[in-house]
Amino acid sequence: MKLAVDLNADLGEGSGHDAELFELISSANIATGFHAGDSDTMHAAIFAAKNHGVAVGAHPSFFDRENFGRKELTIPTEQVFDAVAYQLGIFQAIASALDVQPNHVKPHGALYNMAVRDANLADAIARAIESIDPKLILFAPDKSELARAGEDHGLQIACEIFADRNYLNDGWLVPRTRPDALLHDPNEAAERVLRMLREGKVRSIEGQDVEVRGETICVHGDTPGAVEFVRELRTQLERDGVKITAAKSSR
């Protein structure tokens, strides 16, 4: 059976090489102004995605530009609901003006990481998505609180795996505060991704096999050398018969 998987990247964050990445990915998670970007960068990124045939999704965050949305914050869940709904609404409006239909949502940074573990936070995010457009696909790790909340609110889930991040024994990512958080070798990443797709397993940084399920692969656009990493990763995946294609809504 021929494997098919989505390849997504976080864009519109001012990394300086979005143009090159749009040629290599199938889905773009576009910053919605709270951790990076603004209305102009959203417009430019959605327009570029349209020209490249790349699916677009909102990349909402905590309102924390100082820490690029990567600092864990304690915020009431109703404020999280409002913040996510606000960001999705702006994104939807700009996309509509460009005659583009948003495809998915992927929370950013600490908001994503916390919602993976926190059921109440995950529920606030899922409710916000449902209130704006229940046809949007939610990118979330398999068996996470975020995925469960999305399913509870009738959202379609695309299970996400990470090509450029190392994993822990509990199945979650090595924190960015550790020096071994990132995987820089695209050859090693391709081997790892292929195993995740074929066997549903990844070797943790501690040497234990962890079960995963992947329908969309994340690569971080702000990582140094991201373009070369993604180009080599995609080349190797396609060489092994993997089709790169955006996640599609069944709704």
Asked if the model's pLDDT at residue 190 lies above 80, the reply is yes
Mean pLDDT across the stretch 36-56? 98
Q: What is the reported pLDDT for 2?
A: 74
Helix extents (H) in 26-182? 39-52, 77-97, 109-117, 119-132, 145-152
Residues forming a β-bridge with 30: 11, 58
The span from the CA of 87 to the CA of 45, in Å, is: 15
The span from the CA of 61 to the CA of 84, in Å, is: 7
pLDDT in tens, 192-249: 999 999 999 999 999 999 999 999 999 988 777 899 999 999 999 999 999 999 999 8
Residues forming a β-bridge with 105: 58, 138
User: Quick one: pLDDT band at residue 58, thresholds 50, 70, 90?
Assistant: very high
Mean pLDDT across the stretch 49-76? 97
Q: What is the reported pLDDT for 222?
A: 78
171, two tokens: 């199945």
Residues forming a β-bridge with 28: 9, 56
pLDDT in tens, 92-139: 999 999 999 999 999 999 999 999 999 999 999 999 999 999 999 999
Q: CA quadruple 19, 20, 26, 32: dihedral positive or negative?
A: negative
pLDDT in tens, 132-186: 999 999 999 999 999 999 999 999 999 999 999 999 999 989 998 899 999 989 9
* CATH no. of 4-244: 3.20.20.370
Q: Is 219 left (phi over 0), alpha (psi -120 to 50) or beta?
A: beta
Q: What is the reported pLDDT for 1?
A: 53
The span from the CA of 68 to the CA of 89, in Å, is: 21
Provide DSSP, 22-42.
HTT-SEEEEE-SSSS--HHHH
- Note whether 228 and 5 are within 8 A (CB): no
Q: What is the reported pLDDT for 50?
A: 98
Q: Give helix 109-117 / helix 145-152 axis angle, nearest 10°.
A: 80
103, two tokens: 């495809």
User: Closest Cα partner for 5 from 37, 20, 21, 27?
Assistant: 27
Q: CA quadruple 108, 24, 157, 194: dihedral positive or negative?
A: negative
Q: Supply the mean pLDDT for the chain.
A: 95
User: CB neighbours of 25 closer than 8 A, spacing ≥ 6?
Assistant: 7, 8, 9, 54, 219, 230, 244
Asked if the model's pLDDT at residue 251 lies above 80, the reply is no
Q: What is the reported pLDDT for 191?
A: 94
243, two tokens: 């089709």
